[in-house]
């Protein structure tokens, strides 16, 4: 099942579950029955039961994040793949 916050992440790179690589929907804990994704770059998280999308864009670009992988950067369009060189 796909959620809007997966396709409309507003620059966030959500923490992934180590076992299956899916977005860890328990990374953010905001109280009883309030959980959701957590951005590994800026630390922003929100309850996916209360909101479909994050309220704010990521405050730390993907290339500055400590935990962003190259594959995630390519998906975000943040890595130069060498095709635009003159």
Quick: pLDDT tens for 8-34.
Answer: 899 999 999 988 889 999 999 999 999
> Percent of the chain at pLDDT above 70?
69
What integer best gives the mean pLDDT of the chain? 79
C-alpha span between 68 and 81 (Å, rounded): 17
Report H helices in 1-86.
4-7, 70-76
* Element containing residue 36 per DSSP (H, E): strand 35-36
Give the 3-state secondary structure of residue 59.
coil
What DSSP character marks residue 67?
A: S
Residue 74, sorted as left (phi over 0), alpha (psi -120 to 50) or beta, turns out to be alpha
pLDDT at 18: 87
């Amino acid at each position: 099942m796909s959620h809007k916050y997966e396709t409309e992440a507003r620059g966030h790179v959500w923490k992934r579950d180590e076992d299956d690589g899916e977005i860890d929907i328990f990374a953010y804990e905001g109280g009883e029955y309030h959980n959701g994704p957590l951005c590994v770059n800026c630390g922003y998280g929100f309850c996916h039961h209360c909101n479909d999308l994050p309220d704010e864009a990521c405050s730390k670009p993907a290339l500055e994040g400590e935990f962003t992988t190259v594959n995630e950067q390519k998906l975000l369009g943040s890595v130069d793949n060498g095709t635009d060189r003159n």
